[in-house]
Structures are given as structure tokens and as C-alpha cells.
Structure 1
Amino acid sequence: MNSFLRRYFPQACTLLACAALSLPASAADPTLEATIVALDAKAFDAFNHCGEAGRLQEHATYFAPDVEFYHDQGGVTWNREAMLANTQKHVCGKFRREIVAGSQRVYPIQGFGAIEQGSHRFCQFATGSCDGLADFTIIWKQSPAGWQMTRVLSYGHRANQ
């Protein structure tokens, strides 16, 4: 029996370690999740009020200068300046973004930042109706200066049923 253990124990440990490493990544720790959820809320509070003086510029601070924004219906913007121009033209004073309760998930990116995923709906200021629903993914980068969005995807736009 001892020779059996000596012979196969190292291989068994290696297999167990490999199996543990192949498990799906779990959601972020509560501190990271709370940080990203709070940043999202602040960034999109500014977005929701971007028609007010200074709020579009505040919204801009949450995005890296070279942010890439992918929108399944609107196409791609390749930098913060273009993204903000689109926001000002198509969003400010017209509608607001709301997170679908319970949909946000945050996952760490080792040595870089985090991935945020969820669903959001868009509500018109004029009518109060929340007609649009979509999914989103945001890549957040942490630097000594703070957190910024580097990639944003908004996709699967559909009617809010």
C-alpha cells in the first residue's frame, strides 16, 4: 500500500490541482463588486443628467481617452471624444439609463481591473416610458489615478417587455 501511495500520490495531486484550476472563475470579491457597481452608478448618473451644465464632462472622466464603444445598432466609436459627441447628440435630455435590478455581475481581471456585465433599460424623459432593453459589458481598468472604462459593449437591444 505504501508503494502504491508513493507511486501515485504525486500524480493524483497534480490532477486535483489541474481540476481546481479548470473550474469556472467565480464572481469578484464583494469589495471589488461594490467598487464597480458604485462607479457605474456615478458614471451613469452623470450620463442621465448630461443635459445639465458640467455633467457631460463629469461623465467623460469615467472613460479612458482611447475607449472603444461597440453598439450593435449604432456602430463603433474609437475614442472618448467621438463617444461623447454621440452621447450629446443622441442621449442628453432625451432618455436615461437604468440598471435591471439583480443583473450586474463583476469579475476580476488579474493585474488589470474588472469586467462588469448586466442588463440595462432606457427610459424616455418625454413620456417616462422605458421602451428599450439591452445587455452590456464594460471593461474597467484600474490605474494609480483611479478606475476608467476602456471597452464598452451595448448589445441585444430589444423592446422592454
Structure 2
Amino acid sequence: MKAVFGRCGIALVATVAMAAYAAKPEPPLLQATIAALDTSVFDAFNHCADPVQLQAHAAHFADDVEFYHDTGGVTWTRDAMIANTAKYACGHYTRELVAGSLQVSPVKDFGAIEHGVHRFCQVGTDRCEGEADFTIVWRLRDGQWTITRVLSYGHRPSPATP
């Protein structure tokens, strides 16, 4: 009887611990850190027609970043991704985070996963006609956060578009 109770007790403790972990929200400091990084990388992106800002944007990415875009394809390096950004985005459109969409999850011994929805606005008209889901994998190494993977997918008209 004692052995059965011991196993049940362990199972109960494990179940409670797993439920507590699943219900635990991301650490507030991590959420704030990734939100600030998102703001930094995309503020530079939004001004990337300026070569200094394009380089500031590029500095957020690992050399071997993988960028998956459902309509644009895949790039396997920072240089290729930045060349595409310069050619297709800079001076053409800006990106804004859809309020309330940012989610952050820690990745043990690596960094974090950021997920949300972003909207794209045409430069000059400020018309925001498109949006997409995104996922960004951030690595923390030696106190420095860098982006290692990006997925931008589900591109669609913004709900505000008539």
C-alpha cells in the first residue's frame, strides 16, 4: 500500500508541477526585453532607406540567419536578407506591431521565441493595407541578443482595408 501511495503521490506532484509550469506566464523581464528589441530592430527597418539605419537593422541578425517568407521565399544569410530588405522594403513600406499581439516564450539555455502580428504601411501614403503573422527566434549569447530565425507568413489584407 505504501509503494502505491508513493507512486501516486509522485504522479500527483508531477501533475501539479506541470500544470503550474504550463499556466506560468513568460517572465515579465523577458517580455519587456524582447518587446524593446522588437522596437529597436523595426525602428531601424522603418528608416532603412538611410544606409546607417539599414546597418543598424542588420546588426540585430546572426550571420547565418534563416528568413522564411511565405510569398518571398527563403534566405539563408544576413547578407542575402539585408539585400532583399534594401531592394524590396526600404523606402517602400514600414512595419508596425499590431497592439496586443506580442507573445514571448523563453527557450531554455538559448533565448526566446517572439510571435505576433505585424502590419505593413506604404511610405508616403501611410496606408496600412497588409499584415502577416511572424515568429522570431532570439539567441542570447555573451549578453548579446541576435535573431537566428524569422518566419513571416499568412500575408493578407489588413482588416481595416475596405
Moved over 4 A (4+): none
Alignment of 1:105-144 (within 5 A): 105-144=103-142
**Deviation string for 1:79-118 (max 9, x for gaps)?**
1000000000000011100000000000000000000000
Letter in 2 for 1:64: A
Larger Rg: 1
Letter in 2 for 1:16: L
Does 2:56 match 1:65? no
> What is the SS of the residue equivalent to 2:112?
strand
Letter in 2 for 1:14: I
CA distance in 1, matches of 2:130, 2:103: 20
| Superposed displacement of residue 19, structure 1 | 2.1
CA distance in 1, matches of 2:60, 2:36: 12
* Residue segments in structure 1 that go unaligned for 5+ positions in a row: none
What residue in structure 2 maps to residue 19 of structure 1?
Answer: 15
CA distance in 2, matches of 1:69, 1:21: 36
Worse overlay, 65-74 or 12-21: 12-21
What residue in structure 1 maps to residue 83 of structure 2?
Answer: 85
% identical aligned pairs: 53
The CA RMSD over aligned residues, in Å, is: 1.4
Cα gap change, 1:7 to 1:145, in 2 (>3 Å): closer
Letter in 2 for 1:155: Y
> What is the SS of the residue equivalent to 2:51?
coil
Which of these residues, 9, 14, 18, is aligned with residue 5 of structure 2?
Answer: 9
* Residue segments in structure 2 that go unaligned for 5+ positions in a row: none
Cα gap change, 1:76 to 1:41, in 2 (>3 Å): same
CA distance in 2, matches of 1:132, 1:138: 19
Letter in 2 for 1:42: S
CA distance in 2, matches of 1:116, 1:26: 17
**TM-score, scaled relative to structure 2:** 0.91
**TM-score, scaled relative to structure 1:** 0.92
> What is the SS of the residue equivalent to 2:121?
strand
Alignment of 1:39-78 (within 5 A): 39-78=37-76
Cα gap change, 1:98 to 1:119, in 2 (>3 Å): same
Count of matched residue pairs:
157
CA distance in 2, matches of 1:21, 1:65: 39
CA distance in 1, matches of 2:28, 2:91: 34
> What is the SS of the residue equivalent to 2:26?
coil
CA distance in 1, matches of 2:12, 2:104: 27
**Deviation string for 1:39-62 (max 9, x for gaps)?**
010010000000113000000110
